[in-house]
Amino acid sequence: MGKPTGFLEYQRIQERKRPVHERVKDYKEVSLEIPLEDLKEQGARCMDCGIPFCHSFGCPLGNLIPEWNDAVYSGQWQEAYYRLEQTNNFPEITGRICPAPCEASCTLSINDAPVAIKQLERSIAEKAFDRGWVMPQHPKKETGNKIAVIGSGPAGLSAAQQLRRAGHSVTVFERSDKAGGILRYGIPDFKLEKRIIDRRIHQIKAEGVIFETGVDIGKDISASYMKKKFDVILLAGGAGKARGLAVPGDGYEGIHFAMEYLTRSNKFTAGEISRDEIINARGKKVLVIGGGDTGSDCVGTARRQGAEKIYQFEILPKPREWKEAHNPDWPFWPGILRTSTSHEEGCERDWGIETVRFSGRGVKIEKAYFQRIIWKQYEGKYRKEIAENKDFSLDIDLVFIAAGFVHTEHSDLHRDLGIEYDQRGNISVDDRYSTNVEGVFAAGDTHTGASLVVRAVSHGREAALAVNEYLCS
C-alpha cells in the first residue's frame, strides 16, 4: 500500500493547531486542515506491512485503513471515501475526537512514528462533504418493521442509520432538545463543532429516520405503549451515571459534575441558553478532579471563560513520560503521559492526590483539602498508601468532578420493561445485543459502560445487524 519506500522518505506530519493566544478567545475548532500534498505523503508512509494491525486489532470498526491510505497517495479521494464509509458512519467525527488506537497499532510504531491515520480520516471525510459525495442512501425495499432507538449518541445514530438502510422504519427518541447525545452536549466545540453533527443528522433524516427530541421515554411515553407500537426497541442511552466523591462538604454550592458544566457551556455556545444560565468560571479558582478527557474538556472550557487559576488533580500516579516518536514496549503504551490541547492552554496538573473534604462559608465552597497518595504493588496488585505530612489545601471557588461514570442511568423505562443489569449496573445483553426482554436490545455505553466514541459506533452497527437478523428470521 502507498509508496513502497514512503515510510523511509517521509516523516510523520504533526497536527496543525491554531495558536493558543488565538484559540482561547473562542470555541472554534483547535485543529486545522492539512495541505493535500502533505496528506498524500502521509498516505505514502503506509508500508504494506502484510498484517495491518491498524485495521485488524487497533480499530473497533475494522476500518480499511491501508486501502484508503493507498487511495489518498494515488490521489483517488472519492475511492478513499467509499472505502472509509463501508465501515464507519461518522468518519468526520472519529477523525476529530478518536484517540486513534489504530495509530498505536501501526507497524511503523515499532521503531518509527506511525502513519497519520486520524488526520487522513478527517481529511477524506471533509473532502467528501465538500465535493458532494456524502449522499442519502435509501433502502431498496421497505420491510414494514418499526424500530424505536432510545438515545441519539454515537451508538444510537449509527444503529438507526444502518437499520433504516436495511429498509426498516426507524424513530429515534432523544430526551434533550437536539439529537447528538454526548457528541452534542458532552464534547466542547473546540474539539467538535456542532455543525459537523448537524450536517450528518441532516443526511440521516434525508434517508428517512424520524427524530423525536425533547421526549423522555418511560415518563412522557410509557414502556407498554412502546412495546405495542414498535417491533423492536434498541436502548442506546449511554453511561450517564457519574461517579461522585462522597467526601465531607461535597454538598456545597460551586461543586458540580463535569457533564453538567460542559452541557450548559455547549448549550450557551449554540445559543440555546443565556450566559446567566451557565456555570461561569470567569475570574475564579477552579479545581478539576479527574485526569481523563472529560477533565481536560473542563480545563479548556474554564480557560475560555477566563478562569483565574485552574488545577487538575488525578488520584492515580503520574504516567510515564515518553517523548519518542515510536511506541514504548507493550504494555506501557496505554499508561504514558498525554498532553491535550486544553493542557497546552494552561493549567496546573498533579497526580497521586486524593481529595478528602471541602469547606466553605455559608453554603458556598471556599477551600478544598487533599492528601498525597503513594501507590505500592503487593502480590501483583496496586494499593494506595497515604504519604505522611503531605496534606495541603487550596482556596477554590469552583469544583468540577470528572471522575468517570459508574454505569448507565437506571430509568423508569428500564424498570417498566423489566430490564436486567450486570454486576456493574449496566444493561445485561447476550452476544447478539439482546436483553432479557424479548424484542429489546441495547448498544453502546449503556451496556459496556463508558468507553470510546469509535467503540460506540461499532456497537451500534453490530447491534443493528443483530436486530435486522432478529426481524428477518
Please give the full DSSP string across 49-110, using - where no structure is assigned: -SS-HIIIII-TT---HHHHHHHHHTT-HHHHHHHHHTT-S-HHHHHHH---HHHHH-GGGG
* Rounded (5°) CA angle 442-101-180: 40
Nearest alpha carbon to residue 61 among 473, 472, 453: 453
> What pLDDT score was predicted for residue 330?
62
**E strands, 113-153, where?**
146-150
Residue 140 belongs to some domain of the structure: no
Residue 31 belongs to some domain of the structure: yes
**Measured over all CA atoms, what is the biggest interatomic distance in the chain, rounded to whole angstroms?**
72
pTM of the model: 0.95
Look at strands 364-378 and 392-395 and give their pairing. Answer: antiparallel
Residue 276 belongs to some domain of the structure: yes
Q: Confidence class of residue 48 from pLDDT cuts 50, 70 and 90?
A: confident
- Same domain for 369 and 457: no
- Same domain for 348 and 227: no
Of 106, 130, 154, which residue is a domain's last? 130
Of 355, 381, 403, which residue is a domain's last? 403
pLDDT digits (tens, 9 = 90+) for 301-350: 999 999 999 999 999 999 989 888 888 876 676 778 999 999 999 999 99
Residue 1 belongs to some domain of the structure: no
Nearest alpha carbon to residue 200 among 259, 150, 135, 280: 135
| pLDDT greater than 70 at residue 430 | yes
- Same domain for 224 and 249: no
> What pLDDT score was predicted for residue 460?
98
- Same domain for 229 and 87: no
Q: What share of the chain is helix, strand, coil (3-state, %, to 5)?
A: 35, 20, 45
pLDDT digits (tens, 9 = 90+) for 9-46: 999 998 999 999 999 999 999 999 999 899 999 999 99
- Same domain for 257 and 182: no
Q: Confidence class of residue 377 from pLDDT cuts 50, 70 and 90?
A: confident
- Same domain for 387 and 303: yes
**Percentage, residues of the chain above pLDDT 70:** 99
> What pLDDT score was predicted for residue 336?
87
Identify the CATH number of the domain in which residue 96 sits. 1.10.1060.10
- Same domain for 103 and 17: yes
Residue 417 belongs to some domain of the structure: yes
Q: Confidence class of residue 1 from pLDDT cuts 50, 70 and 90?
A: low
* Rounded (5°) CA angle 288-342-152: 80
Residue 269 belongs to some domain of the structure: yes
Please tell me the least confidently modeled range out of 6-10, 264-268, 347-351. 6-10
Would you say 216 and 413 are in contact if contact means Cβ atoms under 8 Å apart? no
> What pLDDT score was predicted for residue 328?
81
Q: Alpha carbon of 364 to those of 193, 265, 279, 361: distances in Å?
A: 34, 21, 14, 6
Nearest alpha carbon to residue 213 among 261, 177, 163, 168: 177
pLDDT digits (tens, 9 = 90+) for 385-426: 999 999 999 999 999 999 999 999 999 999 999 999 999 999
258: amino acid identity, one letter: A
264-273 CB contacts, 8 Å cutoff, 24+ apart: 265/188, 265/301, 265/305, 266/184, 266/185, 266/186, 266/187, 266/188, 266/189, 266/194, 267/185, 269/27, 269/188, 269/189, 269/194, 270/178, 270/194, 272/177, 272/178
Task: Report, as an integer, the average pLDDT of 92-104.
Answer: 95
In angstroms, the CA 326 to CA 177 distance is: 44
Q: Which domain holds residue 392?
A: 244-403
In angstroms, the CA 91 to CA 131 distance is: 16
Of 403, 420, 449, which residue is a domain's last? 403
- Same domain for 84 and 60: yes
pLDDT digits (tens, 9 = 90+) for 152-210: 999 999 999 999 999 999 999 999 999 999 999 999 999 999 999 999 999 999 999 99
In this structure, what C-alpha cell is assigned to residue 455? Answer: 467503540
> What pLDDT score was predicted for residue 331?
61
Residue 137 belongs to some domain of the structure: no
Across-strand partners of 169? Answer: 146
- Same domain for 124 and 28: yes
- Same domain for 347 and 456: no
The string over 415-445, giving b where at least 16 C-beta atoms fall within 10 Å of a residue's C-beta and e elsewhere, is eebebebeeeebbbbeeebbbebebbbbbbb
| pLDDT greater than 70 at residue 115 | yes
> What pLDDT score was predicted for residue 345?
98
> What pLDDT score was predicted for residue 252?
97
Residue 188 belongs to some domain of the structure: yes
**Percentage, residues of the chain above pLDDT 90:** 90
| pLDDT greater than 80 at residue 59 | yes
Q: Confidence class of residue 380 from pLDDT cuts 50, 70 and 90?
A: confident
Handedness of CA 58, 61, 62, 63 (dihedral sign): negative
- Same domain for 349 and 327: yes
Average pLDDT, the chain: 95
Please tell me the total count of domains within the chain: 3
Identify the CATH number of the domain in which residue 325 sits. 3.50.50.60
Would you say 186 and 272 are in contact if contact means Cβ atoms under 8 Å apart? no
In angstroms, the CA 64 to CA 72 distance is: 13
- C-alpha of 245 from chain center: 23
- Same domain for 230 and 116: no
